[in-house]
Structure 1
Amino acid sequence: MASSRQLLISYFLASMASSLVVAGPQVPCFFIFGDSTVDNGNNNGLATSAKANYTPYGVDFPDGPTGRFCNGKNIADVIAELLGFDSFIPPFATASGTTILSGVNYGSGAAGIRDETGQQLGELISMNKQLLNHQTSISRIVKFLGSEEAAAKYLNKCIYAVAIGSNDYINNYLLPKHYPTSHIYTPEEYAVVLTQQYSQQMRTLHRNGARKVALFGLGLIGCTPDEMATYGTNGSCVTMIEDYVQMFNNRLKSLIDELNGDFSDAKFVYIDSYEASLSAAYGTGVSYTTTPCCHVSLSLGKAQCAPGTVPCSNRSSYAFWDGFHPTEIINTYLGERAYSAKSPYDAYPTDIKGLAELQLGEDQIQPKDKLKNWRWSMIKSLFSGPMLGGF
Structure 2
Amino acid sequence: MRPIFCLNSKQFWFRSNFCLFRLFLSDMGCETKLWLEVVFLSVTCMQLCVLGVPQVPCHFIFGDSLSDCGNNNVLSTKAKVNYLPYGIDFPAGPTGRFTNGLTEADFITQLLGFKNLTPPFANLNGSDILEGVNYASGSAGIRNETGSRLGENFSLQKQVQNHRIIATQIAGKLGSIEKAQQHLNKCLYYMNIGSNDYINNYEQPDYYPSQSLFTPEQFAAVLIQQYSIQLRALYVIGARRFALIGMMRLGCTPREISIHGKNGSLCVEQDNDYSILFNSNLRTLVDQLNRELFGAKFILINTAAIATGDENYYCCKVDDKIGLCLPNSVPCSDRSQFKFFDAVHPSEKVNQVTAMNAYKSPSSAYAYPMDISQLIST
* Fold equivalence (TM over 0.5): yes
Are residue 317 (structure 1) and residue 337 (structure 2) matched? yes
Aligned-partner Cα distance in 2 for 1:343–1:47: 42
Match of 1:290 among 312, 322, 330: 312
Q: In the alignment, which of 91, 114, 127 is matched to residue 120 of structure 2? A: 91
Partner SS, residue 85 of structure 1: coil
Match of 2:47 in 1: none
Corresponding residue SS for 1:130:
helix
Task: Give distance in 2, aligned partners of 1:342 and 1:170.
Answer: 30
Specify the SS of the correspondent of 1:189. Answer: helix
1:172 matched to 2:192: no
Work out the CA distance in 2 between the residues paired with 1:71 and 1:22.
Answer: 23
The one-letter amino acid paired with 1:91 is P
Q: Deviations over 1:10-63 (max 9, x none)?
A: xxxxxxxxxxx9861000000000000000000001110001100000000001
Q: Taking structure 1 as reference, are residues 97 and 315 closer, same or farther at Cα in structure 2, changes over 3 Å only?
A: closer
Matches within 5 A, 1:58-69: 58-69=87-98
SS at match of 1:27: coil
Q: Give per-residue Cα distances to partners, 1:244-293, cap 9 Å, x unaligned.
A: 11011100000000000001311011111110113xx3xxxxxx242210
Moved more, 93-102 or 156-165: 93-102
Which of the pair has more CA radius of gyration? 1
- What is aligned with 1:365? none
AA of the residue aligned to 2:356: E
- Alignment partners' CA distance in 1, 2:140 and 2:305: 23
Question: Which blocks of at least 5 consecutive residues in structure 1 are unaligned?
Answer: 1-20, 282-287, 359-391
RMSD: 1.4
For 1:177-196, list aligned pairs within 5 A.
177-196=206-225
User: What's the % identity of the aligned pairs?
Assistant: 50
Q: In structure 2, what is the equivalent of residue 366 of structure 1? A: none
1:6 match: none
Q: In structure 2, how many angstroms separate the alpha carbons of the residues matched to 1:165 and 1:190? A: 11
> Of residues 205, 210, 226 in structure 2, which corresponds to 1:197?
226
Give the aligned length.
328
Q: Evaluate the alpha carbon distance shift between residue 22 and residue 104 of structure 1 in structure 2; reply closer, same or farther with a 3 A threshold.
A: closer
Structure 2 Cα separation of the partners of residues 48 and 194 of structure 1: 23
8 A contact 1:98–1:144 mirrored in 2: no
Cα offset for 1:98? Answer: 5.6
Q: Does the alignment pair 1:233 with 2:255?
A: no
Deviations 1:199-257 (A, max 9, x none): 11110010110000110110011101100001122783110010111011100000000
For residues 22 and 51 of structure 1, the distance between their equivalents in structure 2, rounded to whole angstroms, comes to 30
Structure 2: how far apart are the matches of 1:35 and 1:289?
21
Residue number in structure 1 paired with 2:140: 111
- For residue 41 of structure 1, the aligned residue among 52, 70, 84 is 70
**Partner of residue 368, structure 2:** 348
TM-score (norm: length of structure 2):
0.85
Q: Match of 2:290, as an amino acid? A: N
2-structure distance, mates of 1:23, 1:81: 10
Give unpaired runs (5+ residues) of structure 2.
1-49
Structure 1 counterpart of 2:245, from 216, 220, 231: 216
What amino acid is the match of 1:176?
P
